[in-house]
């Protein structure tokens, strides 16, 4: 009997100890990887080595070549030192070189500033500057419905 009680007590003590350890461990931030490559490795790749890693639409766009306006924007962005680069070109796909830069994308009404993060690689710039937003409407006003016509005004 004593042996059984000892094992139960020791099991409980181990469980409690395990819980304490789980609480005290600090959650480590996971390092960013894109298809098995870290950001530094991606930035070191040449364009021909990078293209197979990108999604098909981005890969096709860069294989065909950029037009003059797109190439001008990419060159300005690569050469920028921290200021926002304005553009109307929403279809340009984000490359690892762009990470950390700030881009002002035109939404049709205004420019929206976007800081490019590693998670955005392979997406179009326009995906992060939405052109439409939902308008929140309140309830109907006085006289809007037949029943509200006869409500006394305060």
Q: Exposed, middle or buried, 95 (CB in 10 Å: 0-12/13-18/19+)?
A: buried
Per the structure block, which two tokens stand in for 104?
């002002």
What distance separates the 2 farthest-apart alpha carbons in the chain?
86
Cα–Cα dist 3/12, whole Å? 14
Give the pLDDT confidence score for residue 17 in this predicted structure. Answer: 62
Cα–Cα dist 115/51, whole Å? 23
pLDDT in tens, 52-101: 999 999 999 999 999 999 999 999 999 998 899 999 999 999 999 999 99
CATH number of the domain encompassing residue 87: 3.30.860.10
Domain assignment present for residue 43? The answer is: yes
Number of domains in the chain: 1
Q: In Å, how far are 59, 105, 111 from 124, measured between CA atoms?
A: 12, 11, 16
Domain assignment present for residue 144? The answer is: no
Whether this prediction's pTM lies above 0.85 is answered by no
- Which range of residues forms the domain containing residue 47? 34-128
Residue 3 confidence (pLDDT) above 60: no
Q: In Å, how far are 83, 102, 126 from 44, measured between CA atoms?
A: 24, 21, 26
Residue 22 confidence (pLDDT) above 90: no
Domain assignment present for residue 73? The answer is: yes
At 9, is the pLDDT very low, low, confident or very high (cuts 50, 70, 90)? Answer: confident
pLDDT in tens, 110-134: 999 999 999 999 999 999 999 998 8
Across residues 5-21, what is the average pLDDT?
65
Q: Specify the 3-state DSSP secondary structure of 139.
A: coil
Q: What is the mean pLDDT of the chain?
A: 87
List CB contacts of 58: < 8 A, sequence separation 6 or more.
93, 122, 124
Q: In Å, how far are 24, 44, 67 from 51, measured between CA atoms?
A: 43, 13, 18
Domain assignment present for residue 1? The answer is: no
Domain assignment present for residue 14? The answer is: no
Give the pLDDT confidence score for residue 6 in this predicted structure. Answer: 62
Residues 101 and 139: beta-carbon distance below 8 Å:
no
């Amino acid at each position: 009997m004593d042996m059984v009680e000892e094992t139960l007590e020791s099991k409980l003590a181990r469980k409690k100890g395990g819980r304490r350890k789980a609480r005290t461990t600090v959650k480590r931030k996971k390092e960013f990887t894109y298809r098995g490559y870290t950001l530094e490795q991606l930035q070191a790749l040449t364009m021909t080595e990078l293209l197979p890693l990108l999604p098909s639409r981005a890969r096709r766009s860069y294989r065909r070549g950029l037009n003059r306006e797109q190439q001008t924007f990419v060159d300005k962005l690569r050469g920028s030192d921290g200021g926002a680069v304005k553009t109307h070109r929403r279809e340009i796909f984000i490359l690892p070189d762009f990470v950390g830069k700030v881009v002002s994308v035109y939404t049709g009404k205004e420019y929206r500033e976007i800081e490019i993060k590693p998670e955005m690689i392979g997406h179009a710039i326009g995906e992060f500057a939405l052109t439409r937003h939902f308008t929140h409407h309140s309830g109907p006003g006085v006289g809007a419905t037949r029943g509200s016509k006869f409500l006394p005004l305060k």
